[in-house]
Structure 1
């Protein structure tokens, strides 16, 4: 075990977990600011809807291209150091973007490159963070720490960050990106204080080319997730939840304007209701898992997300829509906390990075299909029909996944 100055995991995992949650919080605040400010900047600089969409897509493309290799890499190196380097990569990218913007050189392709590099840093960081957390947290505290982590991230990113992003951009277009760069530097500094075990590296292979060995590592990770019934169910279900959620988000603005008859400004407030529900769900997720058990918590949260979709579809009341959307956000957060903690507890340390890459590839890869599918349903049956369809899909999923969850003793 590494020994040096800083917070030693062996001496106090709780302290190390607090550093980790703190790093996630400041980084999430910067992310929320950037998520709000980057589309605004792209709109101002490019003045073309398709080009703005290209910039947005560039931030998610790295998950499709590098999710699996990044997961394999996270299983071979010191994960804490990889997280620090990912933060520094993103901070450096933002500093370069600020320089290009100040010089008037931040046109389409430099902006796409910035968005892409930020996405690469996110992929590396997330694969390493998922694998690193169980090394600084006792197994029985995984839900508690993940609950705090998700709640802090949602509060900082989806509530505070999104509001600050617009306000800071209005003050000066450089400011939100400078704040985001500082947030990554603070995150790296907090993570640098943690001293603990490095990753349990993948079994060393001396034969063959490095690329061949990387492919073997990726193949092993895919085979492990695909061959484990519980992980397979969690992964596919997460993909369907994400597809429904993104599909409903895609048509939510139509529902707000055409069904509820509200001005565009009200859309942001209703979206914030979902984020607030997520914060509350994150705050209670660990208690729900302890009192009800993991399997009832997973099935109950899945049912709540589905019921929330039906609730939105069944009313023209703004208040009811806000409550239902908040309930759906709470359900998603409880699912995330419990499912992530369960995955962390059952996946061997040497495979956690690769398993994260596989999980994210499936879970996030289904989101664009959800947006397209629910956009078609909305055109055919209206936005209420899209919400109703999503609710039915998730409620119908409950009895399908319940047997797999209940018969696997690892799910508790």
Structure 2
């Protein structure tokens, strides 16, 4: 599966580089948590239409559908760290412009959508590339623990610390929240600058500027994923879950923040979203041990069941405590899923294919988010907000049932055996 030649500059394999990558991811995701809470609040301040409020989430997530495949192909052809740094710098610039517009003349809704779209585009290229850097700084024997550490940190920053902090900053002013996000991205840029070495795969031929070459790479990545039946199935499941999550996050602000049924303030809403991060840390931290004891299939199925609970709770109740509890469960399921799936992917997929596989993976999972946000906005406008939650819960349960019948425990054992054989063969 892997050649004996070194696929990248061996000097990148160091604890210092992983710590710098980890710090950059932590600061970036902290800024993400602040900004992604602030964007819907800015939209709510401009309009009371659920569809138009959901439009901010749609604009921010649409690039996952449009650019995931090109981002993955580009990551296999260029210096990956440099690409991440360019995209982080771009996000800081966009937030500076949005903050200036709010403070100067007032930001129109179309301007908010444009800013959210640009932020999402930069996020696609940065996040898709980051996961392909992990095998370049961490030995394969420590891959699962590295992904667990990185996923837990990202979850804490993005979903636990970021949203409550964003709520507090938004209480001081929406421009303050957006400006703080820009400062965070600037800090992440400094952390990434500490990394040393060359982060371009030596195994990948071709010019980074060739459009035809990129197209060939994209299709090669798609064909590779299609041949991997278990990983392909998991990607489809992740896509359904991501679409449902985007639907939930697009309209939960209407349901939660006053005058919605929960009657929460902006700060309280930030704390509610923060319970996702608490659960995510617990799930990500426990995932390696649970996988060893129960197997990947059981952990992934339980993760999907937790996610169904997240969606069902606001459909049947207006209790803030119940919704906070199921939000915690949904976060735990998400954290456990991310670590369990990412570690398997990192062990099975060849390094020279990692960027393209990550692009296809992000398209299947994160690319479903704008579709979920669009459907949620229309459903909330034409039917009701609760109908969004009912539909999402029903879809998650259906996908879980089909997956359990399609992918068996022996299928997982065969994939894990291939991963173990690949690890023994690695130089």
* TM-score normalised per structure 1: 0.83
* Other-structure match for 1:333: 335
Answer whether contact 2:255 2:385 (CA < 8 A) is retained: no
The 1:373–1:344 alpha-carbon spacing in structure 2 relative to 1, beyond 3 Å, is same
Report the CA distance shift for 1:172/1:315 in structure 2 as closer, same or farther (over 3 A). Answer: closer
- The CA deviation at 1:337 is 0.9
Which runs of structure 2 are paired with 1:230-379 in the superposition (5 Å)?
Answer: 230-247=230-247, 262-265=262-265, 270-306=272-308, 319=321, 321-370=323-372, 372=375, 375=379
Alignment size in residue pairs: 402
RMSD over aligned CA atoms reads 3.6
**Most deviating of 144-153 and 164-173:** 164-173
Aligned residues of 1:311 and 1:324 also touching (Cα < 8 A)? yes
Q: What is the alpha-carbon distance in structure 1 between the residues aligned to residue 333 and residue 251 of structure 2?
A: 20
Q: Is the 8 A contact 2:54 2:250 kept in 1?
A: no
Q: Which residue of 2 aligns with 1:169?
A: 170
| Partner residue in 1 for 2:37 | 36
SS at match of 1:194: coil
- Cα distance per residue 1:230-255 (max 9 Å; x no partner): 32122112112223434455676788
Asked if 1:410 corresponds to 2:411, the answer is: no
Contact 2:305 2:400 (C-alpha < 8 Å) held by counterparts: yes
Kept in 1: contact 2:65–2:370 (CA 8 A): no
Q: Give the corresponding residue for 1:24.
A: 25
Alpha-carbon distance in 2 for matches of 1:289, 1:35: 31
Cα gap change, 1:180/1:270 in structure 2, threshold over 3 Å: closer, same or farther? Answer: closer
Q: Contact between 1:281 and 1:331, CA under 8 Å: does it hold in 2?
A: yes
SS at match of 1:195: coil
Range moving further from structure 2, 401-410 or 125-134:
401-410
Distance across 2 between alignment mates of 1:253 and 1:115: 17
- Contact kept, 8 Å, 1:90 with 1:184, in 2: the verdict is yes
Deviations 1:82-107 (A, max 9, x none): 11111111112222333333432643
Looking at structure 1, the residues matched to 141 and 33 of structure 2 have their Cα atoms a distance apart, in angstroms, of: 31
Say if 1:305 and 1:344 are closer, same or farther in 2 by CA, change over 3 A: same
SS at match of 1:263: coil
CA offsets, 1:351-386, max 9 Å, x none?
Answer: 211111111111123345556389599869967854
Sort the Cα spacing of 1:93 and 1:281 in 2 relative to 1 into closer, same or farther, 3 A. Answer: same
5+ unaligned residues in a row in structure 1: which ranges? none
Q: Structure 1 residue 155: deviation in Å?
A: 1.8
Alpha-carbon distance in 2 for matches of 1:315, 1:54: 25
CA contact 1:34–1:176 (8 Å) conserved in 2: yes
Supply the distance in 1 between the matched residues of 2:96 and 2:385 (Cα, whole angstroms): 46
Q: How does 1:83-162 map to 2 (within 5 A)?
A: 83-104=84-105, 106-162=107-163
Please list the CA deviations of residues 329-368 of structure 1 after superposition, one character each: whole Å capped at 9, or x if unmatched.
2122101111012112221222211111111111123345
Contact between 2:314 and 2:386, CA under 8 Å: does it hold in 1? no
Deviations 1:304-348 (A, max 9, x none): 445676788788876555434422321221011110121122212
- The alignment status of 1:399 with 2:405, answered yes or no, reads yes
**Worse-superposed segment, 324-333 or 68-77:** 324-333
Tell me by how many angstroms 1:289 deviates: 2.8
Aligned partner of 1:229 in structure 2 is 229
Write the distance in 2 (CA, Å) between the matches of 1:108 and 1:382.
Answer: 26
Contact 1:309–1:390 (8 Å) recurs in 2: no
Q: Would the aligned equivalents of 1:277 and 1:327 in 2 still touch at CA under 8 Å?
A: yes
Q: 1:378 to 1:142 in 2, by over 3 A?
A: farther
SS at match of 2:408: helix
What is the deviation of 1:196?
3.3
* 5+ residue gaps, structure 2: 1-7, 421-427
The CA distance in 2 between the partners of 1:410 and 1:338, in whole Å, is 16
Distance 1:103 1:215, change over 3 A: same
> What SS does structure 1 have at the residue aligned with 2:199?
coil
- How far apart, CA to CA, are the structure 2 residues paired with 1:197 and 1:399? 44
